[in-house]
């Protein structure tokens, strides 16, 4: 049986159906009963509504588990501590394979969430567990393309000239499903997962323009405006931990490119990774048909 954390989040919504289709038995961890019900409707055998913040909860979650897919709770003040604790609990539970979804260039410790994930990676490598570390680039998200689809303006919360590698979560979860269901072939591996292209904001806008058939402009927005895209109409002062992370991301990416190579992802997928244009073509019909392009979760 596999344990999947954040199982109804951005990755989980794509990964869980793929694992079920592959015949995997799943125990999923989510934070709300509504998320749990969504997973039960898909056919997930076991769903825990809890947060993996204490030893007893971790013991229950990992009991009888062969493999773990772990995503750190980004923006949470205890992100590092929670990650280290689940690695330790997996050691005690004799988990056979621990897969950690980290981040591209976790060594870039000028970012809080990279520091935390780097520390979890270090502990995992030293734990004695069979492990695989996935390091995805920035996610391509439908809701961040919404202003480009709707208003003809692509918005970015850091310098428009900085270059960024991105990745489609469908590609990430294809890799995750492969790694979880064919574990021995991937033990000890650390995989950077990037689509092709080092993209400026204008590059993204130009790709969207090819899809919508009209020019798309670019605009730099504030961290506060970006937060509303992620969290809705909320004051960052009311969510200080998330606000601190978002402001630091914007400052760091304004000063540094964040880029990688598509070679590893291309090899793992045995095909070309999805480009930003491919992604826009995939999600644009939903916008055109009046469907809601959800915020991240």
pLDDT of residue 297: 45
Q: What mean pLDDT comes out for the span 113-119?
A: 93
Shared domain for 43 and 179, answered yes or no, is yes
Res 290 pLDDT > 70:
yes
* CB contact set of 177 (below 8 Å; sequence gap of 6+): 15, 18, 19, 22
Task: Check: CB of residue 73 under 8 Å from CB of residue 8.
Answer: no
Asked, for residue 175, whether it belongs to a domain, the answer is: yes
Shared domain for 173 and 246, answered yes or no, is no
Shared domain for 79 and 124, answered yes or no, is yes
Asked, for residue 244, whether it belongs to a domain, the answer is: yes
Shared domain for 179 and 105, answered yes or no, is yes
pLDDT level of residue 50 (50, 70, 90 thresholds): confident
Asked, for residue 135, whether it belongs to a domain, the answer is: yes
Q: How far apart are CA 212 and CA 140, in angstroms?
A: 17
Shared domain for 56 and 21, answered yes or no, is yes
Q: What mean pLDDT comes out for the span 202-213?
A: 98
Asked, for residue 295, whether it belongs to a domain, the answer is: no
Asked, for residue 204, whether it belongs to a domain, the answer is: yes
Asked, for residue 46, whether it belongs to a domain, the answer is: yes
Shared domain for 69 and 108, answered yes or no, is yes
Res 253 pLDDT > 50:
yes
* Cα–Cα distance list, 16 to 4, 23, 29, 161, 294 (Å): 8, 11, 11, 36, 18
pLDDT of residue 105: 97
pLDDT level of residue 295 (50, 70, 90 thresholds): low
Q: What is the pLDDT of residues 224-239, one digit of tens each?
A: 888 887 777 777 777 7
Res 241 pLDDT > 90:
no
**Adjacent-strand bridge partners of 218:** 154
Asked, for residue 297, whether it belongs to a domain, the answer is: no
Q: What mean pLDDT comes out for the span 57-66?
A: 95
Instruction: Give just the sign of the alpha carbon dihedral 119, 121, 125, 129.
Output: positive
CATH code at position 233: 3.90.25.10
Res 130 pLDDT > 60:
yes
Domain hosting residue 282, numbered range: 140-167+195-259+275-289
- CB count, 10 Å around CB of 261? 12
Shared domain for 172 and 37, answered yes or no, is yes
Number of domains forming the structure of the chain: 2
Task: Check: CB of residue 156 under 8 Å from CB of residue 276.
Answer: no
Res 291 pLDDT > 90:
no
Given 178, 193, 208, the domain boundary residue is: 193
Asked, for residue 129, whether it belongs to a domain, the answer is: yes
pLDDT of residue 75: 67
Shared domain for 82 and 9, answered yes or no, is yes
Shared domain for 229 and 128, answered yes or no, is no
Shared domain for 172 and 203, answered yes or no, is no
pLDDT level of residue 294 (50, 70, 90 thresholds): low
Q: What mean pLDDT comes out for the span 104-127?
A: 94
Shared domain for 181 and 38, answered yes or no, is yes
pLDDT level of residue 133 (50, 70, 90 thresholds): very high
Shared domain for 37 and 179, answered yes or no, is yes
CATH code at position 112: 3.40.50.720
């Amino acid at each position: 049986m596999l344990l999947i954390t954040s199982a109804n989040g951005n990755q989980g919504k794509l990964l869980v159906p793929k694992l079920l289709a592959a015949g995997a038995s799943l125990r999923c961890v989510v934070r709300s009963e509504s998320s749990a019900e969504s997973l039960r409707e898909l056919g997930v055998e076991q769903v825990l509504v809890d947060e993996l913040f204490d030893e007893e909860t971790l013991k229950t979650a990992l009991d009888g588990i062969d493999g773990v897919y772990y995503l750190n709770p980004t923006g949470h003040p205890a992100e590092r501590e929670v990650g280290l604790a689940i690695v330790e609990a997996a050691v005690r539970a004799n988990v056979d394979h621990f897969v950690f979804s980290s981040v591209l260039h976790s060594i870039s410790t000028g970012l809080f969430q990279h520091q935390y994930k780097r520390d979890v990676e270090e502990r995992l490598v030293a734990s004695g567990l069979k492990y695989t570390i996935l390091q995805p680039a920035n996610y391509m998200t439908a809701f961040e393309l919404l202003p480009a689809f709707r208003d003809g303006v692509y918005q970015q919360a850091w310098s428009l000239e900085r270059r960024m590698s991105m990745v489609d979560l469908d590609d990430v979860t294809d890799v995750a499903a492969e790694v979880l269901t064919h574990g021995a072939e991937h033990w000890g591996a650390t995989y950077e997962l990037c689509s092709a292209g080092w993209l400026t904001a204008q590059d993204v806008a130009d790709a969207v323009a090819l899809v919508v058939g009209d020019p798309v402009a670019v605009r730099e927005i504030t961290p506060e405006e970006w937060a509303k895209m992620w969290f809705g109409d909320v004051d960052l002062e009311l969510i200080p931990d998330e606000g601190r992370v978002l402001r630091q991301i914007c400052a760091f990416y304004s000063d540094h490119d964040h880029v990688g190579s598509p070679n590893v992802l291309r090899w793992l997928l045995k095909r070309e990774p999805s480009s930003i244009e491919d992604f826009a073509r995939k999600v644009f019909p939903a916008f055109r048909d009046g469907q809601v392009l959800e915020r991240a979760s």
